[in-house]
C-alpha cells in the first residue's frame, strides 16, 4: 500500500470534522482522508471548495463525489490491508487514492481516456505505486485479474451488472449505486457460497454508469 508523498493541508482536518458529523466513525477511513489532499484532485478554480462536502465537476461531464459519500462507501467496504480491489470509475483519482491507503492492489477502470491518463499521472506523481490503471468499459469488469475481494462502482447503474458480481470473490463485498438514471439506492452486496446478499445504505445520486452492462451513452 502507499500513503503518497504529499503533506496534507490544514483544510483536511476541517473535512475530517465534517465527516465525523456525517456519521463516519472508522478511524482508518478518517486517517486515509488525512493523507489525501482533495484540492489536488480538482481544477485550480475549485481549490476554495475542495474541502467542502460537495461534489465538484472534473470535466468530461463527470464529478468528484462529495467526501461524505466517498467516506461512507469506503467504510462500508470493510477494507483489510490484503484486499484486492476493483474500482469502476477512476474519475480524478480521489477515491482511488483513499482505497490505496488500505489495499495491496487497486485495479481501476475509467471510460474517459483523458480523465484516466490524468489520474494515472497524478497518482504516480504523488507516490502511489499499488494502483493499476485501465481505460475501457468498466461494466465488463477486469476478468484477467478476477476474483476481487472488494468491488466499488462510482457511477449509477440501472441494475447491478452480473459481469461484476461474477468477478467478486466468495466472502467479498461490492458497493454500487443502482436505480433510476438520476436517483439511486446505494447497495452493499456480500457474496456467500449460496449467492449474493444485499442491503441498501440509502439514497444517492451519481453520474450514470455507461457501458455494455449499464446505461447507453
- Catalytic site positions: 65
How far is 198 from 165, CA to CA, in rounded Å?
12
Q: Which helix (H) or strand (E) segment is 203 a member of?
A: strand 195-204
Q: Cα angle at 69 between 147 and 36, to 5 degrees?
A: 80
- In terms of DSSP H, where are the helices of the chain? 11-21, 27-34, 67-76, 94-100, 113-125, 162-165
CA-wise closest residue to 150 among 98, 87, 93: 87
Cell 475509467 belongs to which residue? Answer: 110
How far is 54 from 194, CA to CA, in rounded Å?
39
**Beta-ladder partners of 197:** 190
For the record, the C-alpha cell of 214 comes out as: 449499464
Amino acid at each position: 500500500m502507499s500513503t503518497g508523498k504529499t503533506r496534507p493541508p490544514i483544510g483536511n482536518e476541517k473535512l475530517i470534522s465534517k465527516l465525523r458529523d456525517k456519521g463516519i466513525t472508522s478511524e482508518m477511513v478518517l486517517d486515509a482522508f488525512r493523507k489525501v489532499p482533495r484540492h489536488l484532485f480538482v481544477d485550480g478554480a475549485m481549490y476554495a471548495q475542495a474541502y467542502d462536502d460537495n461534489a465538484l465537476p472534473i470535466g468530461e461531464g463527470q464529478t468528484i463525489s462529495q467526501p461524505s459519500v466517498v467516506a461512507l462507501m469506503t467504510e462500508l467496504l470493510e477494507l483489510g490491508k490484503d484486499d484486492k480491489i476493483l474500482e469502476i470509475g477512476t474519475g480524478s483519482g480521489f477515491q482511488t487514492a483513499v482505497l490505496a491507503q488500505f489495499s495491496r492492489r487497486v485495479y481501476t477502470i475509467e471510460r474517459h481516456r483523458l480523465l484516466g491518463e490524468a489520474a494515472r499521472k497524478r497518482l504516480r506523481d504523488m507516490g502511489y505505486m499499488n494502483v493499476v490503471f485501465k481505460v475501457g468499459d468498466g461494466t465488463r469488469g477486469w476478468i484477467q485479474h478476477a476474483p476481487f475481494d472488494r468491488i466499488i462502482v462510482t457511477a449509477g447503474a440501472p441494475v447491478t451488472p452480473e459481469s461484476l458480481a461474477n468477478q467478486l470473490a466468495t466472502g467479498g463485498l461490492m458497493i454500487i449505486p443502482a436505480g433510476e438514471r438520476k436517483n439511486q439506492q446505494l447497495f452493499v452486496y456480500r457474496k456467500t457460497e449460496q449467492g449474493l446478499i444485499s442491503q441498501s445504505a440509502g439514497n444517492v445520486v451519481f453520474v450514470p454508469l455507461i457501458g455494455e452492462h449499464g446505461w447507453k451513452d
